[in-house]
Chains A and B, each alone.
Chain A
């Protein structure tokens, strides 16, 4: 299956700081998703982004499919941004998940 690597594995930010999370994938993919798993365990859809750039408020994502990576940008971070961020790419009958980036935003 597709290998998905995320970096960094852990990130601690002061509230108000910006950050970039990276997702590398091993093969060409038809689509890519970013999720936020909040401290209560819920998986929240952030972006469905096979290619190009999308923005939603303080969050934006860019996928460069030809170079097999995607970036998630978080600007002006807030404590509610804490949790684990996963990227996942679609292969045959499966979403292949990375092991996530654990983000902690401190006030």
Chain B
């Protein structure tokens, strides 16, 4: 089934460790996004990429980095995890910036 796949589904991580959340889409969408969802705050954009080879910062980029080496993959890296990064992370994609967005199933990350 075409769509967006995130991995892992959930993870418990020790503070200070490095972690990469994976996101792959098979819809050949140009734009991809990473959001975090926290209780009471809705979804907030971390980083985005409008096309392969380009990335940009969203509302809450500190502590996170991304890369977009090809169209399909958009990994999110936490270089040194902190407890405030405990959240549910969603990857999304759209054919182009501003068109209908589709979301992955999410990654629940707990930093202890």
The stretch of A65-73, A74-82, A93-101 in contact with B is: A93-101
Instruction: Give the total of B residues in contact with A, Cβ under 8 Å.
Output: 25
A99 contacts B41, CB within 8 Å? Answer: yes
The chain B residue with its CB closest to the CB of A43 is: B103
Kindly name the residue among B33, B99, B101 whose own CB sees the greatest number of chain A CB atoms within 10 A.
Answer: B101
> Measured between alpha carbons, how far is A1 from B59 in the docked complex, in Å?
9
Contact B100 A42 (CB under 8 A): no
Interface members, chain A 24-64 (any B CB < 8 Å): 30-31, 33, 35, 41-43, 45, 48
Q: Is the interface of A mostly helix, strand, loop or mixed?
A: strand
Contact A95/B99 with A41-B88, A43-B90 known, Cβ cut-off 8 Å:
no
Chain A's interface size range is: 20 to 34
CB neighbours of A95 from chain B (8 A): 33, 43, 45, 92, 101
| Chain B residues packing against A (C-beta within 8 Å) | 33, 40-45, 48, 50, 56, 58-59, 88, 90, 92, 97-103, 105-106, 108
